[in-house]
Chains A and B, each alone.
Chain A
Amino acid sequence: MTTRQFGQPVLRREDPRLVTGNGRYLDDLGHTAYEAAFVRSPHAHARITDIDVEGALDVEGVVAIFTHEDLEGPAADRLPLLIPHPSIEAGRTGHALAKDDVNHVGEAIAMVVATNRYVAEDAAQRIVVSYEFLPPVVGIENARDGANLVHDDAPGNVAAHLLQEVGDVESALAAAPHTLTLDLDIERSACTPMEGRGVLAQWDSDEQRLRLHSSTQTSTGVRAAVAAKLQLPLSQVECIAPDVGGGFGVKIMHPWPEEVLVPWAARRLDHDVKWTEDRREHFTASAHERGQVQQVTVGFDDDGRLLGLDVRFWHDNGAYLPYGVIVPIITATQLLGPYKPQNYRVEFWSLYTNTAIVTPYRGAGRPQGCFAMERTMDAIAAELGLDRAEVRSRNFIQPEEMPFDQGLMFQDGRPLKYDSGDFPASLAKLKALVGWDDFAAYREEAESQGRKVGLGIGCYVEGTGVGPYEGGHVHVETSGRVNVATGLTTQGQGHQTILAQIVADELGVSIDDVHVTTGDTRRMPYAVGTFASRGAVMSGNAVALAARAVRAKALRIAADALEVAEEDLQIEDGTISVKGAPHASIALSTVAVMSNPLRYAFDESAKAATQFAGTFDPDKPPVADDEEPGLEGKDFYSPTQATFANGMHAAIVETDPVTAEIKILRYCVIHDCGTVVNPMIVEGQVHGGVAQGVGGALYERMAYDETGQLLNASFMDFLMPYASEIPHIETDHLETPSPLNPLGIKGAGEAGTIPVTAVIASAIEDAEGFPIRSMPISPHELWDLRRAHAHALETVSPTPTEESA
């Protein structure tokens, strides 16, 4: 009897290879390739007046030095604005190598190709670039004020402006018994995967063919972009994502300048060229996220029920807008979480600044939205003196209201319609897990010991598994080996394991016989990529559908051979047998042989198949009209809309009464991502997500000074938390299957990150007794806040003035 794999905590099959140093990452490839290094702008905003490469040319080992002047055709044009949107008023993108001006520190100006990276950097150091300085625009306040412009033709530094409204917010607020206004602020952070970006290009001049390896989250996207930029037929370009040491969003952005330049140089030099990003480059020349300034006005009744919600926010999109406005759109729509505000208006401005570009980072705008909504919920509770969980509960969408249409347009251009979820049940589980109702006693005991503790909460809904599609290909070899291919890429999440679990079950084979390939355009040329927590939903369902096609074909062939009806057959452990008569059986490997009329007897399976040669009908072709040779199947999964996962987190923090140091004592997660394929992998995803969330809440920020210099562009000063900073994470799960897809699953990749900033702010606020409106927060900032509030209490009015009823 085959053990069902789906739902089991199957050990990750990729781990033995990855944790013993046998992964093959980008820099492990291309040992004989030339290596590239870049001269990057040390200035945030400047006009380039001269580039003098003279001194670099005679460095021994230098092969070529390129500037924008050397580029030709589409490669010299601006990089694409990948995802256009009607809200974009001034969409600006950069060049692969800067032309005339630079708009952020780290922008590439010249490319040096040399025999190795050391030599390339020696030469890069000798290239002299002259600049005429322009006033830098740094920070949302400066961008909004518009006195200086990043792009002359983007007035007010506005890249995009969008307003969405459901109901009549103005009337609702006017009629509401209570209103509050909150000014909120959330700072930049970044994905910071262990492996940075990297590209290896191999040009085959005999075949006029380009093979590209990129540390990317989308090999099909990179392939198409490079073909277009290099004016190559798509058929002459292949792109493979090797092992990728983390992405978290930054590698879904494409084409990066280097993804265009490295293959361009490889073709021009007729030699393999490689570029491996270093950490400093990653900080200044890749992408960041999160920075927003928000203003929320909320109207509510005496019970804390929302009557109207008016949100305006300003989103820092950095120097260019290659990835469009996906992030602020997600903030605007996902902000609502599990609540129904009745009347909702959201308006955002996406602003240029002279800083690194902003593209999705795990959570992708949701942490900011969750922060706005959950700070608002806490403010309502504080205003009315109600329990914070109770206020949330009163505003929940109820299970019987599912599917629930929020009346907005989501990031995929489709209606924001929740498919399922049981928010009251999730909250009940969370309260039980964290001991919500016993916290008063816990706090009292801590206070008696001179300790300050606080309890925080945050709820979210996450649109996952957005389309348009993903494909699966399943092929059974005559050995019984099952090859599975899907086009989306993997960055270590465990796709190889969960996709194998799904196929093993669907096909009735041992998981050990299933081999999964991801992100290789040679195996699956039509694919989208890994982002938006879509891997399991999209490729999971796609490979399931493909496996079902293979199963149907196998049963067809076996039924013919065994002369029984298909319905009477079963597949277990790779053997097809007649139900109730297990001796009448045929191996799947044998069926694979039979599926191909070209039957050279290379191996035992082929020999075995000869006994099932069947009847020979000279009037029929060896391959029937509606059949194909081989036991394989391909299918695509394309959903009508995203599926909506949800979760609720709670944390207990302790703040040092003197030094304001902040410690997370407990962190509890209730997570609902529909039917779970592998609970251990989901748990790992939640843990990793929470860890990145803790980074964003308490440690990480991009410290740009007023001139646009990034002061903390290293892991010494950019405080990505260590394991020692991450609390033990307690989790519990709820499974409300998605009605939208055959497997009932929802995405899980980003979930853990989304509410952490909101939860920690809530807990610190609870410990301190004054509002927390700006995150992340460090001990010295909390200490400053304490003094400001103590001072305010001593000197002015007895009531806080920031928000008035």
Chain B
Amino acid sequence: MNILLQDPFAVLKEHPEKLTHTIENPLRTECLQYSPCGDYLALGCANGALVIYDMDTFRPICVPGNMLGAHVRPITSIAWSPDGRFLLTSSRDWFIKLWDLSLPSKPLKEISFDSPIWGCQWLDAKNWLCVATVFEESDAYVIDFSNDPVASLLSKSEETSLSSTPDHGYVLVCTVHTKHQDIIITGTSKGWLNFYKFHSIFQSECIHSLKITSSNIKHVIISQDGGRLAINSSDRTIRQYEIHVNNETSTVELILEHKYQDVINKLQWNCILFSNNSAEYLVASTHGSSAHELYIWETTSGTLVRVLEGVEEELIDITWDFYSMSIVSNGFESGNVYMWSVVVPPKWSALAPDFEEVEENVDYLEKEDEFDEVDEAEQQQGLEKEEEIVIDLRTREQYDVRGNNLLVERFTIPTDYIRIIKMQSSSG
């Protein structure tokens, strides 16, 4: 039904509540990522396959690398370009591959390192820049895919040579500031958080560095508006900060807002994710075979508002589509994909607003002027006046009811008709 006709409080729920779909994936999902507008869901599988599902039909529609050059080891991360056409995948087979979904049969470009890749992210998709973290490396890599792919360490150059700087351990995660696209944040195995200002692929400077904890930093996430930062570390704590970056003076300020812990079971968190815009909610998956839920907290008060249940296995990776308000997570044992979404009960009376649902019979009371005779000319005039208001049917609305931008460019994966025909003729 038309979402605009619905009760706004039922529609505008800011997080999903019910398990609505399960996608069975025999290839075992290792990680997943929604396309920027939630049209597609990319699944990275244990055997290195990358499968893209169409989220209207819940069917796979594209398997990049089906002709040549798919990964041969589990995929560790997937990143969509903002226009939804290009995909970056990193894998345990030491490769980072760039895919163009208009020609998905083989990778557009690829680069190999000499150890497994933890993950990679776009730094600047327009200029083909991305950042990646590699197994047992002291720093993250910046990769330029514009020509032949080139990788360079986010060098700390002189600083590292000084013996006074403490051992930061290996870099495990990195992320890019959502508002200041030249700020890269990395987290290390010894609990250090480093902020870099990116100038060019061979030059970037460390502008801030601080020790958060003494254990591994597993995730660093930043809200869409760039005001909140959350860190998931293996000391079983999610720390949420308010972050201020001054680009001119290159200073970073962090203020601790909340710490989220499972006090009773002392669980670790597998994955964390913010909701859209100013990140009013934080969702996390729980580690361990006994826990099968996703927790959602309200970030301003730090209170737990919802536990997403219904799955009978541990959940790993999470991705959240804000257009359809659905959260998707993959199971650890079966590799299946679970989807929670907002279920809106159909309310047909909304289609005829002058009709009212009544609990019991009501005696109808005629209104004072209800059956008065109206002067026909006057009525005609009134109608004409109404008609004079020009209704704009062409301009597209910029925002949907949830405040998501509707004018974002959406890429549609082309249908490979030749392949379909060939498959049909070979099977028939």
Whether both chains belong to one complex is answered with: no
Q: Which residues of B contact A (CB under 8 A)?
A: none
